[in-house]
């Protein structure tokens, strides 16, 4: 594994700083970015309009690399999940979801990619496969971007919608995330609009504060999953450190001045958070935050005790939220049959490797 930094992990600002330091102009930086992102070359030699000395300089300081895809799982609904191997052997999973039909009935061109931000996760939510093995490490900017590049080779299409809902807590890897966001949104990068990017957080308040100060209009989803401290404490250790009395004001701070509403993600887990009373607590928080609610009937994880409520129970929960005039959707995980809740594929693979079972 070469230690040179990846060219695909350089923000425009960083590349420009490097080139000006070496006596090159801004125009050269633009040419290089054009080769990398528009023309998608994978060698410096291919950048034929650059002087040889510049090509050599780039090759001495940077390299190209797209992470290797080691497993692809397709499902009947065309969602595909894949495991990517990073250069240190770490396994990371991403999900690609082409939307066939848009809400207005027209065929949509949307290609959504769910990316991971860390290998594993330190937050240890009790229902989640990603947290089961703890945090191995942060993903680098290049590895976050690498998932997009690898996915595009599978999809044979450009990804135009990105959700940070894979493994890991993106806001606890803020610096690498911020550089990745620059590259993803830049006109001289992947050029995906900020409004087509969603960051999901379990409620890591220090990271939310940084995101509140971040200038771009990235969408925010909050994995609430419980609308009282009692429920959240039971399933999400993060709540012990940053309870609702801190999380809600941090979300208000994020909303202020940006004219955007967060989405509250709420997994429905049988007998944990699915009662009419839970629905009314959720409505209260959603009203206060002017938030939308996205209900997700729980996907069972092997080795964990949690169960999905009956369809009827899920529907009546949704109806209660809807009656309170909160915009609500209920999404049965696409690709339930391929362990689509992120973290499950890697968990299984790591278990196969170690011959272990989850706690």
Query: What are the residues binding ligand SF4 (CB under 6 A)?
Result: 121, 123-125, 128, 130-131, 167-169, 202, 223
Q: Any idea what DSSP says for residue 6?
A: B
Contact region with ligand SAH (CB under 6 A), list: 245-253, 254-262, 296-304, 350-358: 296-304
Under the criterion CB under 6 A, does residue 202 sit at the interface with ligand SAH? yes
Q: How far is the CB of 224 from ligand SF4 (least distance, A)?
A: 11
Question: Quick one: what does residue 124 bind among ligand SF4, ligand SAH, none, with the CB cut-off 5 to 8 Å set by partner type?
Answer: ligand SF4
Question: Quick one: what does residue 131 bind among ligand SF4, ligand SAH, none, with the CB cut-off 5 to 8 Å set by partner type?
Answer: ligand SF4
Q: Which two tokens stand for residue 297?
A: 């009937």
Count Cα atoms within 13 angstroms, Cβ side, for 271: 3
Of 264-283, binders to ligand SAH (CB under 6 A) are 265, 267
Considering beta carbons, is residue 15 or 129 the nearer one to ligand SF4?
129
CA distances from 62 to 19, 49, 68, 107, 287 (A): 12, 18, 19, 40, 49
| Residue of 205, 295, 321, 342 that binds ligand SAH (CB under 6 A) | 342
Under the criterion CB under 6 A, does residue 299 sit at the interface with ligand SAH? yes
Contacts of residue 86, defined as CB under 8 A and 6 or more positions apart, other chains included, come to 67, 92, 119, 139, 143, 146
Catalytic residues: 93, 342
How many binding residues for ligand SAH (CB under 6 A)?
17
CA 288, 291, 295, 301 torsion: positive or negative? negative
Of 114-143, binders to ligand SAH (CB under 6 A) are 127-128
Under the criterion CB under 6 A, does residue 314 sit at the interface with ligand SAH? no
Q: How far is the CB of 241 from ligand SAH (least distance, A)?
A: 15
Q: How far is the CB of 137 from ligand SAH (least distance, A)?
A: 15
Instruction: Tell me the C-alpha distance between 100 and 332, whole Å.
Output: 16
Q: Any idea what DSSP says for residue 308?
A: P
CA 6, 8, 9, 11 torsion: positive or negative? positive
Beta strand 219-223 with 263-268 is parallel
Instruction: Tell me the C-alpha distance between 222 and 247, whole Å.
Output: 10
Question: Quick one: what does residue 112 bind among ligand SAH, ligand SF4, none, with the CB cut-off 5 to 8 Å set by partner type?
Answer: none
CB 93 within 8 A of CB 343: yes
Provide the binding-site residues for ligand SAH, judged by CB under 6 A.
127-128, 165, 169, 200-202, 223, 225, 265, 267, 296, 298-299, 301, 341-342
């Amino acid at each position: 594994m070469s230690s040179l930094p990846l060219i695909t992990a350089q923000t425009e600002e960083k590349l420009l700083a490097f080139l000006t330091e070496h006596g090159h102009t801004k125009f050269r930086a633009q040419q290089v970015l054009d080769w990398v992102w528009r023309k998608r070359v994978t060698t410096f030699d291919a950048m034929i309009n650059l002087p040889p000395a510049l090509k050599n300089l780039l090759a001495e300081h940077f390299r190209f690399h797209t992470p290797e895809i080691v497993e692809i799982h397709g499902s009947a609904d065309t969602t595909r999940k894949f495991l990517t191997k990073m250069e240190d052997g770490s396994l990371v999973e991403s999900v690609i979801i082409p939307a066939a039909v848009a809400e207005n009935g027209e065929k949509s061109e949307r290609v959504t990619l769910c990316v991971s931000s860390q290998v594993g996760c330190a937050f240890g939510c009790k229902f989640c496969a990603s947290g089961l093995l703890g945090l191995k490490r942060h993903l680098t900017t290049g590895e976050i971007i690498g998932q997009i590049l690898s996915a595009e080779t599978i999809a044979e299409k450009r990804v135009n919608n990105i959700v940070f809902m894979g493994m890991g807590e993106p806001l606890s890897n803020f610096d690498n995330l911020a550089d990745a966001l620059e590259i993803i949104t830049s006109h001289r990068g992947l050029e995906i609009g900020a409004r087509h990017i969603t960051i999901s957080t379990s409620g890591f308040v220090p990271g939310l504060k940084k995101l509140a100060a971040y200038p771009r209009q990235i969408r925010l989803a909050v994995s609430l999953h419980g609308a009282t401290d009692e429920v959240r404490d039971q399933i999400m250790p993060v709540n012990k450190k940053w309870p609702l009395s801190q999380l809600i004001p941090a979300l208000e701070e994020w909303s202020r001045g940006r004219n955007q509403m967060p989405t509250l993600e709420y997994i429905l887990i049988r007998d944990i958070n699915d009662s009419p009373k839970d629905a009314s607590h959720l409505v209260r928080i959603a009203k206060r935050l002017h938030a939308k609610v996205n209900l997700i009937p729980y996907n069972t994880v092997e080795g964990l005790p949690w169960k999905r409520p009956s369809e009827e129970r899920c529907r009546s929960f949704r109806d209660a939220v809807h009656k309170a005039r909160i915009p609500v959707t209920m999404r049965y995980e696409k690709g339930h049959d391929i362990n689509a809740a992120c973290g499950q594929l890697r968990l299984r693979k790591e278990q196969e490797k170690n011959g272990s079972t989850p706690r």
